C-alpha cells in the first residue's frame, strides 16, 4: 500500500519510495512529512509493522 505526504497512516515505519529513507510515525494523528532526505512524497509501510 502506498502513502503520501500529509496522510495519517498510523504508527509504524515508512520507507521513502525514492531514496529508501525511513520515517517513523509514533501517533495515529501524526502526518507523514515529505522525505527529510530527498523531499519525495510517496512512502510504503515496512512489512511486519501494524
Output the nine-digit C-alpha cell for 40: 519525495
- Characterise 12 by phi-psi region: left (phi > 0), alpha (psi -120 to 50), beta (else): left
**Residue 35: per-residue pLDDT:** 98
**Residue 22: per-residue pLDDT:** 98
**Residue 30: per-residue pLDDT:** 97
Per-residue pLDDT of the chain (50 residues; tens, 9 = 90+): 899 999 999 999 999 999 999 999 999 999 999 999 999 999 999 987 54
Is the overall model pTM greater than 0.85, yes or no? yes
CA dist 29 and 20 (Å) reads 23
**Residue 6: per-residue pLDDT:** 98
Q: How many CA atoms lie within 13 A of 38 on its CB side?
A: 12
Amino acid at each position: 500500500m502506498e502513502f503520501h505526504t500529509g496522510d495519517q497512516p498510523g504508527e509504524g515505519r515508512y520507507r521513502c519510495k525514492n531514496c529508501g529513507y525511513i520515517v517513523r510515525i509514533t501517533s495515529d494523528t501524526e502526518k507523514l512529512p515529505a522525505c527529510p532526505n530527498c523531499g519525495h512524497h510517496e512512502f510504503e509501510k515496512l512489512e511486519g509493522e501494524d
